A and B are shown apart, each in its own frame.
Chain A
């Protein structure tokens, strides 16, 4: 079977994101399904810029999944999005 490439996930750990819920996302080891964890390459990044972008429609915390930035991230939302992402 051909090995699937891991989904790149970047969790913003900048100040604005961290205080508005980003801290909860860093517990990803605990709340994500092991299958999802295995399928993703999760990293922290300092400020991905969303908080300074006036054109941004959604609020922090931001997470970038496979190049696309999502805002107002919660643990549940991240679970759902990553499930979809690894099966895409």
Chain B
């Protein structure tokens, strides 16, 4: 598994009274997150027209950055393709494209292209970093103004962040609480304070903080769409899920070694497995009678483990909930909910699946729904990867 995790998220508030945004954010991942491209585009005006411009721009920028084509050329294509606004007689959308690639070391290689959006900000920890951009003049025929792209290439190491936002953020408060708006300096020092206060803040939360601050400066009636996107490079948060007793009893202690040496949160699913772990680690296993629902047996507690649950029923319910993307807060307070909460807080999930056949489940009176362990884990992995963009891995014992 990778030692670097790229956490990308964004937050957005539409211009007051609009139901659709003129700022468009796109994100896609390739090759198990080895390459991530995110684009933020701001279309001329607001509402539907702006949204069309911005969506087109973002989508094209996106596609083109996965192609080997030279940047200047792709930027020209984008601008030539945009429809012309009937009133203003110009076609215009700003954009920022960040192409993030995981290199072999603990670093992420960034290719950043900026066109008329406010400059992106970079932080190493909470310290703002300045960097140079190459200016590329497009000199496009029929351009209504000089078009200059900013291009830069740099590395983000663990603990660094990149903030990209629309002018709705930098101009927040203009003419209201601040004569010249919030401006780049304002955003920079605000973000710095937030990171100092909470050094491990997720991209999702940081983007939210910036956006809601801008919204407040606008006295809660945004003059323009307010969008902020954050890239955060950090160590991955890991979770281990152990289910099923090992095929051979001699491997029981090996399993426990694996659990103990794991760095991250640990979940054991399965009564028999939990009993084995409890016996070898010499720690008490206690059933928590307050945490269950009619479909899900109670969870248990054991020191050193984040969660201990029953096996098949719980896992199949977890898989179904993940497949249906059910938010944790809509679930009853049982093992499934706790399980899902832990999954959502993790970036990488490692499964260790014991292959011993559980005699009890050979009982024909047990509902067929309780499939075989392997199938279940396969469903879990797929749901986590496809619906929640988590990385997963699997080993049998």
Q: List A residues at the B interface (Cβ < 8 Å).
A: 13-16, 18-20, 22-23, 26, 42-47, 51-52, 59
A14 CB contact (under 8 Å) in B292, B294, B310, B370: B310
Given A46-B271, A46-B274, A13 and B310 touching (CB < 8 A)?
A: yes
Across the two chains, which residue of chain A brings its CB closest to B366?
Answer: A19
Smallest CB separation, A44 vs chain B (Å): 3
Smallest CB separation, A75 vs chain B (Å): 14
Q: List B residues at the A interface (Cβ < 8 Å).
A: 271-272, 274-275, 285, 287-289, 292, 294-295, 297-298, 300, 310-313, 359-361, 363, 365-367, 370
Which has the most chain B C-beta neighbours within 10 Å: A14, A19, A23?
A19
The answer to whether B363 touches A51 (Cβ under 8 A) is yes
B360 CB contact (under 8 Å) in A15, A23, A44: A15
Across the two chains, which residue of chain B brings its CB closest to A46?
Answer: B271
The answer to whether A15 touches B274 (Cβ under 8 A) is no
Smallest CB separation, A67 vs chain B (Å): 18
The answer to whether A16 touches B310 (Cβ under 8 A) is no
Chain B binding surface SS class: loop
Given A14-B271, A44-B289, A46-B300, A19 and B367 touching (CB < 8 A)?
A: yes
Across the two chains, which residue of chain B brings its CB closest to A27?
Answer: B294
Across the two chains, which residue of chain B brings its CB closest to A14?
Answer: B271
The answer to whether A15 touches B287 (Cβ under 8 A) is no
Chain B residues with CB below 8 A from A44, complex form: 287-289, 298, 300
Docked pose: A67 CA to B19 CA in angstroms: 66
Across the two chains, which residue of chain B brings its CB closest to A48?
Answer: B271
Which has the most chain B C-beta neighbours within 10 Å: A15, A18, A19?
A15
The answer to whether B292 touches A15 (Cβ under 8 A) is no
The answer to whether B313 touches A15 (Cβ under 8 A) is yes
Docked pose: A24 CA to B18 CA in angstroms: 52
